[in-house]
């Protein structure tokens, strides 16, 4: 029977995805980039939607929430998973509202007026059944997937607006988005890139080799020299793992130092981040914010005698406050950090912030 087979197939795929997530986030840089994770999540959610297990929007949302919580628990630091789930939930709400005849405005934020005038509407339970809902939702998810595939290209298209000739640009670690951005600009302009290697994983080396193959003048520096060379840098362009709700970043370690040095020299700091990295979390919970990996990257086991007497830390992420950031470049254009909260309201529904 195609039904149960498909179900088993789907469960297997979800399990495979979860174990990939668990393995992939070992700190050496994801085995898969965030874009792939986002795409994989979205296609899995599409398959879940395509199943006949649900009858109303509320059921579907409940199923997605349940699966989503499992996925997030597998790798909490991989925030793109949670972001995609929230996007899909918002899509379902919108499609539901449209099927009902759109008594809800596009602005779904809680407002005092709404609270007073339409008390029952806020207790929406999405119980009604619409036959076209499934098709609409799947179509909307397909649109989301297309958008995901085009994010890097959309960002790279803006490169020439921000990079002029003979510039010295600094970056840290390895970001596929920034790589594409710089390569696109290099087709028309000549500039120089300085890459900070970002110990202990030294992903900057890969970035430098890849950029130099595209015939961009690249220099690799050690992390310790970031402030020393910053006085000659015109722009700092970085990627990030997550964009937080207050406009701050959760980026690879060393980024905060880079941002402080740029601020000291009044060098603009540009963050290239696609919209699926925007997460409705705030950097409040100190415990949940940081992720650590094995300290043998920092102090190897060959240093045997002192290892047992010393605490060694190897954090993976850094928090960069929004005051240090000049500009966000995303697939929908450029924004100031103070605008991020507004974008969040377009992408996610406030009730979905806590899954």
Minimum Å gap between C-beta 335 and other proteins is 25
Binding other proteins (rule: CB under 8 A), the pick from 219, 327, 353, 355 is: 219
Helices 133-157 and 176-186, packing angle to 10 deg: 50
Using the minimum distance from each CB to other proteins, give the nearer residue, 312 or 327: 312
Contact call for residue 198 and other proteins (CB under 8 A) = yes
- Sign of torsion, CA 268 274 275 279? negative
Binding other proteins (rule: CB under 8 A), the pick from 26, 115, 225, 336 is: 225
Rounded to the nearest angstrom, the gap between the alpha carbon of residue 74 and the centroid of all alpha carbons in its chain is: 17
Q: Looking at residues 263 to 292 of the shown chain, list those that interact with other proteins (rule: CB under 8 A).
A: 264, 290
Using the minimum distance from each CB to other proteins, give the nearer residue, 106 or 302: 302
Using the minimum distance from each CB to other proteins, give the nearer residue, 140 or 258: 258
DSSP state of 295: G
Q: In which residue are the tokens 């991020």 written?
A: 340
CB 182 within 8 A of CB 170: no
Binding other proteins (rule: CB under 8 A), the pick from 26, 132, 213, 288 is: 213
Contact call for residue 313 and other proteins (CB under 8 A) = yes
Report how far residue 134's alpha carbon sits from residue 107's, in angstroms, rounded to the nearest whole number: 23
Using the minimum distance from each CB to other proteins, give the nearer residue, 144 or 259: 259
Contact call for residue 351 and other proteins (CB under 8 A) = no
C-alpha closest to that of 168 among 118, 215, 214, 234:
234
Binding other proteins (rule: CB under 8 A), the pick from 15, 105, 153, 215 is: 215
Using the minimum distance from each CB to other proteins, give the nearer residue, 180 or 233: 233
* Three-state secondary structure call for residue 245: coil
Minimum Å gap between C-beta 262 and other proteins is 11
Report how far residue 43's alpha carbon sits from residue 41's, in angstroms, rounded to the nearest whole number: 6
Binding other proteins (rule: CB under 8 A), the pick from 117, 310, 342, 354 is: 310
Q: Report residue 17 as tokens.
A: 């995805």
C-alpha closest to that of 144 among 64, 69, 44, 60:
44
DSSP string for 98-111: HHHT--S-S--S--
CB 134 within 8 A of CB 50: yes
Contact call for residue 179 and other proteins (CB under 8 A) = no
Using the minimum distance from each CB to other proteins, give the nearer residue, 226 or 343: 226
Report how far residue 153's alpha carbon sits from residue 158's, in angstroms, rounded to the nearest whole number: 9
Report how far residue 351's alpha carbon sits from residue 280's, in angstroms, rounded to the nearest whole number: 11
Candidates 52-60, 112-120, 227-235, 344-352; binding stretch for other proteins (CB under 8 A):
227-235
Contact call for residue 332 and other proteins (CB under 8 A) = no
CB 121 within 8 A of CB 238: no
Contact call for residue 309 and other proteins (CB under 8 A) = yes
Candidates 8-16, 77-85, 221-229, 326-334; binding stretch for other proteins (CB under 8 A):
221-229
Binding other proteins (rule: CB under 8 A), the pick from 209, 294, 338, 345 is: 209
Of the CA atoms within 13 Å of residue 254, those in its CB half-sphere come to 26
- Listed in sequence order, the residues at least 6 apart from 147 whose beta carbon sits closer than 8 Å to its beta carbon are 331
The continuous run of DSSP H or E covering 217 comes out as: strand 217-221
Q: Looking at residues 228 to 257 of the shown chain, list those that interact with other proteins (rule: CB under 8 A).
A: 228-229, 231-232, 253-254, 256-257
Show the binding pattern over residues 139-178: x = contacts other proteins (CB under 8 A), - = does not: ----------------------------------------
Contact call for residue 185 and other proteins (CB under 8 A) = no
Give the interface with other proteins as residue ranges (CB under 8 A): 28, 197-202, 205-206, 208-209, 212-213, 215-229, 231-232, 253-254, 256-257, 260-261, 264, 290, 298-299, 303, 306, 309-315, 318
């Amino acid at each position: 029977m195609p039904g149960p087979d498909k179900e088993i197939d789907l469960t297997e795929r979800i399990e495979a995805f979860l174990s990939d997530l668990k393995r992939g986030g070992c700190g050496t840089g994801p085995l898969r980039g965030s874009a792939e994770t986002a795409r994989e999540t979205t296609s899995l959610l599409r398959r879940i939607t395509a199943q006949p297990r649900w009858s109303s929007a509320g059921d579907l949302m409940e199923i997605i929430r349940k699966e989503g919580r499992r996925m997030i628990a597998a790798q909490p630091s991989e925030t793109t998973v949670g972001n995609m789930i929230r996007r899909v939930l918002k899509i379902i709400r919108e499609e539901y509202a449209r099927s009902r005849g759109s008594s809800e405005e596009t602005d779904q934020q809680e407002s005092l007026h709404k609270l007073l005038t339409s008390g029952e509407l806020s207790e929406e339970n999405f119980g009604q059944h619409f036959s076209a809902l499934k098709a609409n939702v799947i179509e909307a998810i397909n649109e989301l997937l297309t958008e995901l595939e085009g994010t890097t290209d959309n960002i790279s298209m803006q490169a020439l607006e921000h990079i002029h000739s003979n510039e010295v640009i600094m970056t840290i670690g390895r970001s596929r988005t920034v790589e594409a951005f710089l390569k696109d600009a290099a087709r028309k302009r000549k500039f120089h890139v300085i890459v900070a290697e970002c110990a202990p994983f030294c992903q900057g080396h890969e970035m430098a080799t890849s950029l130099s193959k595209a015939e961009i003048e690249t220099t690799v520096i050690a992390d310790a020299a970031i402030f020393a060379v910053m006085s000659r840098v015109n722009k700092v362009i970085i990627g990030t793992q997550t964009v937080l709700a207050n406009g701050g970043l959760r980026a690879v370690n060393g980024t905060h130092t880079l941002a402080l040095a740029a601020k000291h020299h009044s060098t603009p700091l540009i963050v290239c981040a696609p919209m699926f990295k925007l997460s409705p979390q705030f950097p409040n919970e100190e415990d949940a914010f940081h992720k650590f990996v094995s300290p043998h990257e920092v102090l190897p086991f060959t240093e045997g005698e002192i290892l047992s007497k010393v605490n060694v830390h190897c954090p993976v992420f850094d928090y960069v406050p929004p005051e240090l950031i000049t500009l966000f470049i995303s697939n929908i254009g450029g924004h100031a950090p103070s605008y991020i909260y507004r974008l969040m309201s377009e992408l996610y529904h406030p009730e979905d912030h806590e899954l």
